[in-house]
Structure 1
Amino acid sequence: MNTKAKEARRGIVQISEVANALIDPVLAKRAGINTMLLGSWDEIAGSQFADCTRPERISWPRRASEMAGESGGYQPGVLTIACEGARALFLSHQQGEIIQRINGFFGFPAISQVRIVQKPVAAQPRRKPKPRPLTGAAARHLDDLVEGIEGEALKAALKRLGTAVLGMPRKAP
């Protein structure tokens, strides 16, 4: 019996499997994509576009036969890709290759068109909390620590470092 089967029998499940099971239905309903596509996007987009693009949604066409209650043939969808700035022009020239890679990823002709929207792709960096100014005993302690330093530039740098370290808000244990 392989290791994965033994782990499943004992009830051990990887957190990524649990997260994907929770996230995939929401992504599928709202955007028509899944975590596998998002996780493999760097390979699909290639090194030229991995850092400046991200898949946003797949729009599947509604057919008249579906609205009438009949089952009809399958039609490929339109993938919306967010792309930063001027790189969208270069991406538009590579649409055919991107479509082939995506369809190769899915294993069937899932996408027939790519729609490119220009918008920021990189996650906005989180702002770090600013240290609070030191007062009272902490300020006196820091002054005592840097008192013997001769160079004024070094002393000022050490005071800034000490203020940053001692002045950061503490997280509750």
Structure 2
Amino acid sequence: MKQPYTRKGVVQISEIANGLIDPVLAKRAGINTLLLGSWDEIAGEEFADCTRPEKIAWPRRASEMAGEGGYQPGVLTVACEGARALFLTHAQGELIQRINGFFGFPAINQMRIVQKPVAPPPKRNRKPKPLTGERARHLEEMVDGIESDALKAALTRLGTAVLSSRKK
């Protein structure tokens, strides 16, 4: 019987990263990278940009100590920006259903909403200092034959950033 094809030696970086990150997330927050990566689809257009799942708190069970099986759904903590938390409160039942649909079983029975900033602060866009001397002449020669003004301006900005970052 022929063995199924398996990749030898080729592994995607995302598989390695998820393999390293998932155990830490599971231990610390009770969530995995698959939930984080799919959050925009789960939350929908209305809440994707202003919410982020933070952790799932699974309840401790007395039956766990006794060695009995049994499962209880957890509480998902969601970070939400400002006044949108009120709208999220009203839509939390639908969101819980979407999350449970994502997991394929009733993993969540309650949501805890925490108001805090979700988006990272915007990066400052520093403009490089204008080139002078030999570097400026060299860059001008490189973009001289380009006819499109927009392309020429873009390449000049790129060249200025690249050439100004080099040490003399």
Q: TM-score with structure 2 length normalisation?
A: 0.74
- Kindly name which structure, 1 or 2, has the bigger radius of gyration based on alpha carbons: 1
Q: Secondary structure at the match of 2:160?
A: helix
* Counterpart for residue 25 of structure 1: 23
Q: Secondary structure at the match of 1:112?
A: strand
Equivalent AA in structure 2 for residue 62 of structure 1: R
Equivalent AA in structure 1 for residue 15 of structure 2: E
Equivalent AA in structure 1 for residue 90 of structure 2: H
* Counterpart for residue 59 of structure 2: 61
* Counterpart for residue 47 of structure 1: 45
Moved over 4 A (4+): 132-135, 166-169
* Counterpart for residue 70 of structure 2: 73
Q: Give the distance between the partners of 1:15 and 1:108, measured in 2 at CA.
A: 29
Q: TM-score with structure 1 length normalisation?
A: 0.72
The correspondence for 1:170, drawn from 153, 165, 168, is 165
* Counterpart for residue 93 of structure 1: 90
Q: Give the distance between the partners of 1:105 and 1:128, measured in 2 at CA.
A: 38
Pairing 1:103–2:107 present: no
Q: Which runs of 5+ in 1 are unaligned?
A: 146-157
Q: Secondary structure at the match of 1:12?
A: coil
The correspondence for 1:84, drawn from 73, 81, 84, is 81
Q: Quick one: structure 1 residues 84 and 169, their matched pair in 2 at CA, closer, same or farther if it must change by over 3 Å?
A: farther
Q: Which runs of 5+ in 2 are unaligned?
A: 141-152
Aligned-pair CA distance for 1:126:
2.5
Aligned-pair CA distance for 1:13:
1.1
* Counterpart for residue 16 of structure 1: 14
Pairing 1:124–2:121 present: yes
Q: Give the distance between the partners of 1:71 and 1:169, measured in 2 at CA.
A: 67
Query: Is the contact between residue 133 and residue 167 of structure 1 (CA under 8 Å) also seen in structure 2?
Result: no
Aligned-residue CA RMSD in angstroms?
A: 2.8
Query: Is the contact between residue 131 and residue 160 of structure 2 (CA under 8 Å) also seen in structure 1?
Result: no
Could you report, residue by residue, the CA deviation over 1:66-86 in whole angstroms, capped at 9, with x for unpaired residues?
3x4533421110000000110
Q: Secondary structure at the match of 2:47?
A: coil
* Counterpart for residue 35 of structure 1: 33
Q: Quick one: structure 1 residues 123 and 171, their matched pair in 2 at CA, closer, same or farther if it must change by over 3 Å?
A: farther
* Counterpart for residue 148 of structure 1: none
Aligned-pair CA distance for 1:128:
3.9
How many residues align? The count is 147
Identity, % of aligned pairs? 69
Aligned-pair CA distance for 1:18:
0.9
Aligned-pair CA distance for 1:62:
1.1
